[in-house]
Chains A and B, each alone.
Chain A
Amino acid sequence: MSAKRTAALVGNPNSGKSALFNALTGARQKIANYAGVTVERKAGRLTLPSGAPVELLDLPGSYSFDAASPDEAVTRDVVKGVFDGEAAPDVLILVLDAANLEQHLVFAQEVLELGKPTVVALNMVDLAERDGLTLDPEALSEALGVPVVPTVAVRRKGIAELTDAIAEARSHADEEAHTRWHLTLPERRLTAKHIARSAILSKSTRHTIENGVDRVLLNPWIGPVILFGLLFVVFQAVFAWATPFADALEGGVGAISGVVSERLPEGLFRDFLVEGVLAGVGSVVVFLPQIVILFFFILVMEASGYMARAAFLMDRLMALVGLSGRSFIPLLSSFACAIPGIMATRSISDPKDRLTTILIAPLMTCSARLPVYAVVIAAVIPQRTVGPGIGLQGLVLFALYVAGIVGAMVVALVLRSTVTKGAASGFIMELPRYQLPRLKDLAIGLWQRAWVFLRRAGTIIFVATIALWVLLSFPKAEPGESQLDASLAGAVADTLHPVLEPVGFNREMSLAIIPALAAREVAVSALATTYAVDAEDEDIAAEGVTAKIAALWSLPTALAFLAWFVFAPQCLSTIAVARRETNGWKWPTVMVVYLFALAWLSAGATYWIATAAGL
């Protein structure tokens, strides 16, 4: 038996591949892209009983080798060993949903026809039992000619047995049992039916829980109410639940700041640490709890199967602006971050649909905007309730999210009747069965997101903050002159300021949005650093950025800043991803121009109206 270095998980979408991947590899995962395309490549390390390591790939879910989407094309090419820069996997782990055997056996035959060493994971046997199915893995193994291991990935059942089977997997290409394959689709379907029948020992006519639950969640009247209620709760929770954690983090940063100020001698290095690093990066890191809470809800919706129902409920509304429910999932992911959102558009097969979705994805309020919104809202919006359980601050936050959504819908409508004009798109989608998400899978997902955020805070945001601190601190002000006026940054802000002054921006704001191009949340650290550097005495410097904004910004100015951030393309990474996804600079340029125009207009409109209203 030759040594095995690589293995790959293949199977239909919703066969529980990702949970199985987590169970087999633990948290040691590497997420990247396949060379040349932007389909996500998930790899992890699996340890065989012998102790030998195997690189395990989680391939995109696929219904057929006759690919209908770029994801499926990647799966086909990798499995067949024709994908450039990717070695053909030594072992295939074919994942079948036990409760959906007949359907999943159709693609399974295509995979088995390749004759590669294969192990079948008969996954989610618990759900099959819940649906009243009793299965015979041995009969299935006999029919397929490969080992079959029953697993419940979310409960880590059958994982050791599966690992053993992977270690022992061997080629079955020469076995007689498979010469009858290479069938047409209808023949394959018939074969699948026969094999499924022989593997099902008993089947009670118990009703699946899906019908009952969906009768409520997909009810034409109650369903949308539940969906919008849920989204509203999410945004309230982001504010309310995160507060104690954010306060604790803020206290921690403040305490470190105090210790550093006390211990270090006065001078440039202390200023650099306190005003630059701690004021800047610290003011961003405190938003980790909010980002984790938002991702928690998104991950739960995905893992439970509700996300596809949300797409179903939203399809009709999306159709009004020329999109489909499929665009809803990338757009909802964009609420966390536009980058995975834009990458998730790969599952949209219609190119014009996909392009439209990419162009409007930055309008969804990503988590990087949260720090900006949170600071400004906390500074200028009074903390009171406007109804049972509804805080005014949460309501304003909700309104900002709605503004982004409405903006996106209007833009989509305009795009679909101009530059991405074409036939109405379709919507075909499997609604997966409901499942209780497992805490460990959620924890792995949350950890990956939190880590990405912290890494950004430690790299992009750190560098941008330091650069800004340098620009702000030199040249040094003469006595009596403000440091901001004297600095290089002040000169840059003065250049930009005439364009932004009409829409109500003060100079600090004009300055803050420049480094915020690196990442939106830098606007907060930039403001923090600017006010800290410019502070005339230590007492004022010790105040948080929120207090500064509350004291120094008028309400119309603060609202204009919020309106700017609803639309402004303040994120270079998003633009870079859009370039890669659309293969050129044309569409990213369109995106940047229209977003800046909208940002300026909406900030202006907000400022002018608020001023006229006497706010």
Chain B
Amino acid sequence: MTLDVLDSGKPARIVAVDWAGLAEDEGKRLKALGVDEGAEIAVVHRGVFGGRDPLALRLGNMTIAIRRIHARAIEVEAA
């Protein structure tokens, strides 16, 4: 399951990230923020228009906004 289809509020763990499918700087930024294999995350908020983009993730004590296009490159499993 990729992150974009994960239900809001459900805790999950990142199992794989398709780094090649992301722009280089965006991959770097995600990694620096801790969005990487093994991280435990949950989707906490979603936008309203156009496929409920962007998404807000909860990661530890941080809230991070990303777009669906990034979420689609992130493979997760229920934690």
Contacts and interface: CB of A to CB of B under 8 A. Distances in A.
28 contacts: A64-B32, A69-B25, A103-B34, A103-B59, A103-B62, A131-B61, A189-B36, A208-B61, A211-B44, A214-B45, A218-B45, A312-B47, A315-B47, A316-B48, A316-B54, A317-B49, A319-B50, A319-B53, A350-B23, A424-B69, A426-B66, A427-B54, A427-B66, A428-B30, A428-B66, A430-B33, A431-B63, A431-B65
B61 A431 contact: no
Contact of A426 (B47, B52, B63, B69): B69
B47 A66 contact: no
Interface string A163-191: 00000000000000000000001100100
B15 interface: no
B31 A185 contact: yes
Interface in A270-325: 308, 311-313, 315-317, 319, 324-325
Contacts of B60: 100, 102-103
A492 interface: no
B50 A214 contact: no
A10 to B, nearest CB: 14
A214 B44 contact: yes
Nearest to A429: B65
Contacts of A319: 50, 53, 67
A133 to B, nearest CB: 9
B36 A186 contact: yes
B47 A429 contact: no
A103 B56 CA distance: 17
B63 A68 contact: no
Contacts of B28: 64, 66, 68
B10 interface: no
Count chain B CB atoms within 10 A of each CB in A185, A214, A316 and give the residue with the most. A316
A214 B58 CA distance: 12
Contact of B61 (A99, A186, A316, A426): A99
Given A63-B32, A189-B34, A224 B56 contact: no
Contact of A63 (B33, B59, B61): B33
Interface in A201-216: 208, 210-211, 214-215
Given A100-B62, A220-B48, A426 B26 contact: yes
Interface string B10-50: 00000000000001011011111110111000001111111
Contacts of A25: none
Interface of B: 23, 25-26, 28-34, 36-38, 44-50, 52-54, 56, 58-67, 69-70
B32 A66 contact: yes
Given A312-B56, A319-B50, A428 B26 contact: yes
Contacts of A312: 45, 47, 54, 56, 65
A426 B15 CA distance: 22
Q: How large is the interface on A (under 10, 10 to 19, 20 to 34, 35 or more residues)?
A: 35 or more
Contact of A315 (B58, B61, B67): B67
A482 interface: no
A104 B32 CA distance: 10
Nearest to A324: B67
Interface of A: 63-64, 66, 68-69, 99-100, 102-103, 106-107, 131, 185-186, 189, 208, 210-211, 214-215, 218, 220-221, 223-224, 308, 311-313, 315-317, 319, 324-325, 349-350, 423-424, 426-431, 433
Contacts of A426: 23, 26, 66-67, 69-70
A315 B56 CA distance: 12
B54 A325 contact: yes
Contacts of B32: 63-64, 66, 68, 106-107
The 7 closest A-B pairs by CB, nearest first: A220-B48, A63-B32, A431-B63, A68-B28, A218-B45, A64-B32, A349-B25
Residue of B59, B62, B69 with highest tally of chain A CB at under 10 A: B62
A397 to B, nearest CB: 28
Contacts of B69: 424, 426
Contacts of A430: 33, 62-65
B53 A316 contact: yes
A451 to B, nearest CB: 34
A186 B14 CA distance: 14
Contacts of B61: 99-100, 102-103, 131, 208, 433
A574 B50 CA distance: 35
Contacts of B48: 220-221, 223-224, 316
B66 to A, nearest CB: 5
A208 B67 CA distance: 24
B34 A315 contact: no
A210 B64 CA distance: 12
Contacts of B70: 426, 428
B44 A63 contact: no
Nearest to A64: B32
Given A218-B45, A218-B56, A428-B30, 20 more contacts: A63-B29, A66-B28, A68-B25, A100-B61, A102-B60, A103-B34, A106-B32, A131-B61, A185-B31, A214-B44, A215-B45, A312-B47, A319-B53, A324-B67, A423-B23, A426-B26, A427-B67, A429-B64, A429-B65, A430-B64
A523 to B, nearest CB: 39
B54 A220 contact: no
Contact of A214 (B29, B62, B63): B63
A584 to B, nearest CB: 23
Contacts of B30: 428
